[in-house]
Structure 1
Amino acid sequence: MNGAMIESEAERLRDELVARLVADGAVTSLAWQAAFAEVPRHVFVPVFYRQSPTEQPAVDASTPSEWLEGVYSDQLLVVSPDVKSSSTVPSLMAVMLEALDPADGDRVLEIGTGTGYNAALLSHRLGDRNVVSVDIAADLVSDAKSRLASIGYHPTLGVGDGVDGWPGEAPYDGIIATCAPDAVPGAWLGQVRPGGRIVAPIATGVAVIDVAPGRKGMGRFLPGGAYFMPLRATPGQVDLGSQIADITSAIAPVRTTDLGETIWFDDDFQFVLSAALPGLRFLTKLAESGITIFTDADGSWARLDGGAVAQGGPQRLWDAVENAHRQWDGVGRPTRDKFSITVDGGAQHIRLDGHGVEWRLGRVIP
């Protein structure tokens, strides 16, 4: 397949993708429909990596049909062999961009440049002079800059910690994040003008926050789940093998429990878990023994074995999980879109209005 054929096939598949996004309700405006129809995703995903051991791991233009089919599917694509970078599911990107709802001429800061595809969509919609994008990884920013320039876009790109925003170009009419903070950083609140909007993944949901004077804001969550890499990577490397061995062999009191590891895979409850216990992690399920291990960032752990649980560390981790599940179940198992978020500087809360359910978000970065 030569270059002209690749472009022709890419255009056909792109049109099909846009038709699906419109039919599914992810794209609702003509402006974003035009952006998705005209910005070539394959320019930003020259290669992606399958995670299946039975398939060819790297897919690129050497197998053009497979590559283009993957690029224009509505799927998350891993774009680095170390799984540290990915291209977000297009429908989720569309939902977040529609929620941002910028007006003509608005200036937007993107936190998490990644491949540059989202910055291209923003540049198409607003003009590249109104788009700023920052990423902590210099190599990603460099690659994105080249790809954007190859199709005529030259937004302002910066290398830096997204938690700081990008003060040199502030104020902005909106901020959109493609990485997940524990709470809204204070710098973002200070860099969006009152009346502007922040759209960011928080607690596995998409928070849409309208900013008020005094670094305050209020908003709600969109219905669907949003699983992004954290805004800041956890420092240092953990020896998982030793950690698993230590927890598996640890002597601790055992009691019965009605909850099993399947609660981790309940998408609606995952939001509640992330809000109530932001440090909770599903570490592993050991096939040979059936033991499942959960850990928390504070060093706490829970070891499930059938209907029994043992716990150790600073907090009784599984007690907290059970309490969160009992609370959620008691109010009718609400979905994400039933919750609100309030932001007042260092005090940030997720609430289920009218039910007395409230969680204070994790450490707020000033």
Structure 2
Amino acid sequence: MDKNAQLLTGLVMAGALGEGWRGAFERAPRSSFIPDAVWAPDDDSLTGYRRITRHDDPAAWWALANADDVVVTQLDDGADGGPGTATSSASMPSLVATMLRHLDAADGNTVLDIGTGTGWTSALLSARLGDQRVTTIEVDQAVAAEAAQRLSKAGFSPTRVVGDGLDGHRPDAPYDRIHSTAAVRHVPRAWIEQTTPGGIIVTPWGTPYANAGLLRLLVGERGEPSHGRFVDNVSFMWMRAQRPHQVVELAHPPEHQSASAMDPALALDDVDTAFAIGVRVPGVRFEHRWNRTDPTGTYRMHLSDGAGSWASVRYTDWDAPDAVRQAGPRRLWDEIAAARSWWLEEGKPTLSRFGVTVAADGTQTVWLHDPGNVVG
């Protein structure tokens, strides 16, 4: 049994890959869509990645291609000399299988695949539904061109579009299903309008604080709201136009210093905690910082909202009078602590207890347990 067959058998046994999709995964193995050059995590590299090519290191390349793991295929939107931010990838096979299962596409359905990337997902959809029923859109011209070559070589010819996936693709609408491989913070109104009532949208969804949810949205009748629940814990790269802001510390000194009301480690205790906090504290993003001369003593969480507010909390001696520093119109760390207290009072709801409603005018609300219980 070859490596791909072993992988697929494992996915079937784990319940991730339904038999209705196995034939598509066999016809379109992920390795056929992995570029000759990819990037693997490397803690010793300044960017955090090292480049691996099929020509120079075939064993390492094939190990990545056949593993149930993400393969980074682009850094820094393709620009040279960047910081090493992953901006395109081939997703984990088990995660792709899970998303396609939630998509619940049936024979005869039409699908808009947003984020062509390597072309693999659109190939799977074409293998399952037929080329004529799949439209795939990619914002990066170079990525789209490479995907087109791989799709053609593998024998697939879905409708290929270069453009912003947030706008969808009206010429082929309406679609029975929309499948996105990039995360959004707001479900675009265009997606709702281009989906048949009763159709399904599956997309990664997150907040700047926690990019963590897989949303399955059932599209309502025209003029009516669409509702959906988070069905899994996933983390995907952002739609380029919805990427969160960079975390910055403003030049002016902190306006407020205090002890922390809680151990900052509790703000990232698990994905359910982080997801709830992100919903309750809109627009806030964090990163970890430290002074290399004293990593343990200076390790801290730094937060900003991209609108003039920032906060910093130290992990060591977090209850000291100067552990928290905050500035700007919002007290971001106080909001984080209050959000976690709310989550505890609500009984520690898991990510799957939350959902999203998109009104006919595109307004988006997040709710807990049911659409009537909007999270403010």
| Class of the TM-score when normalised by the shorter of the 2 chains | 0.7 to 0.9
- Counterpart-to-counterpart distance in 2, 1:160 and 1:141: 10
Q: How does 1:145-156 map to 2 (within 5 A)?
A: 145-156=148-159
Alignment of 1:58 with 2:51, yes or no, is yes
Picking from 75, 80, 95, the partner of 2:74 is 80
1:25 to 1:50, Cα distance in 2 relative to 1, 3 A: same
The one-letter code sitting in structure 2 at the alignment partner of 1:291 is R
Give the match for residue 229 of structure 1.
Answer: 237
Give the match for residue 306 of structure 2.
Answer: 297
The one-letter code sitting in structure 2 at the alignment partner of 1:317 is L
1:102-134 CA distance string (max 9 Å, x none): 110110001111111111111111111111111
**What is the SS of the residue equivalent to 2:41?**
coil
Alignment of 1:342 with 2:357, yes or no, is yes
- Counterpart-to-counterpart distance in 1, 2:197 and 2:370: 27
Picking from 5, 12, 37, the partner of 2:2 is 12
Alignment of 1:285 with 2:285, yes or no, is no
Alignment of 1:207 with 2:225, yes or no, is no
Question: Is the 2:313–2:333 Cα contact (8 Å) retained in structure 1?
Answer: no
Tell which deviates more after alignment, 85-94 or 170-179.
85-94
Question: What is the TM-score when the length of structure 2 is the normalising length?
Answer: 0.84
- Counterpart-to-counterpart distance in 2, 1:126 and 1:139: 26
**What is the SS of the residue equivalent to 1:153?**
coil
Tell which deviates more after alignment, 164-173 or 249-258.
249-258
Give the match for residue 331 of structure 2.
Answer: 316
Question: Is the 1:182–1:278 Cα contact (8 Å) retained in structure 2?
Answer: no
1:203-241 CA distance string (max 9 Å, x none): 22111111111253112111x321122223468996x7x
How far apart are residue 263 of structure 1 and its match? Answer: 2.3
Alignment of 1:48 with 2:38, yes or no, is yes
1:117 to 1:267, Cα distance in 2 relative to 1, 3 A: same
Give the match for residue 81 of structure 2.
Answer: none
Tell which deviates more after alignment, 51-60 or 283-292.
51-60
- Counterpart-to-counterpart distance in 2, 1:190 and 1:355: 20
Give the match for residue 276 of structure 2.
Answer: 272
Picking from 223, 248, 261, the partner of 1:257 is 261
1:78 to 1:23, Cα distance in 2 relative to 1, 3 A: same
Tell which deviates more after alignment, 349-358 or 141-150.
349-358
The one-letter code sitting in structure 2 at the alignment partner of 1:259 is D
- Counterpart-to-counterpart distance in 1, 2:358 and 2:334: 28
The one-letter code sitting in structure 2 at the alignment partner of 1:351 is W
Question: Is the 1:44–1:144 Cα contact (8 Å) retained in structure 2?
Answer: yes
Question: Is the 1:167–1:191 Cα contact (8 Å) retained in structure 2?
Answer: yes
The one-letter code sitting in structure 2 at the alignment partner of 1:41 is R
Gaps of 5+ in 2: 77-85, 207-211
Question: Is the 1:136–1:162 Cα contact (8 Å) retained in structure 2?
Answer: yes
Gaps of 5+ in 1: 1-10, 361-366
Task: Give the alignment's Cα RMSD to 1 decimal.
Answer: 2.4
1:121 to 1:202, Cα distance in 2 relative to 1, 3 A: same
The one-letter code sitting in structure 2 at the alignment partner of 1:320 is E
Identity of aligned residues (%): 35
Question: Is the 1:259–1:322 Cα contact (8 Å) retained in structure 2?
Answer: no
Question: Is the 1:48–1:77 Cα contact (8 Å) retained in structure 2?
Answer: yes
The one-letter code sitting in structure 1 at the alignment partner of 2:24 is A
Picking from 122, 125, 135, the partner of 1:122 is 125
**What is the SS of the residue equivalent to 1:91?**
helix
Question: Is the 1:293–1:301 Cα contact (8 Å) retained in structure 2?
Answer: yes
The one-letter code sitting in structure 2 at the alignment partner of 1:213 is E
- Counterpart-to-counterpart distance in 2, 1:253 and 1:81: 38
The one-letter code sitting in structure 2 at the alignment partner of 1:32 is W
How far apart are residue 261 of structure 1 and its match? Answer: 4.1
- Counterpart-to-counterpart distance in 2, 1:141 and 1:278: 33
Question: Is the 1:180–1:228 Cα contact (8 Å) retained in structure 2?
Answer: yes
- Counterpart-to-counterpart distance in 2, 1:173 and 1:354: 25
- Counterpart-to-counterpart distance in 2, 1:297 and 1:37: 45
The one-letter code sitting in structure 1 at the alignment partner of 2:339 is A
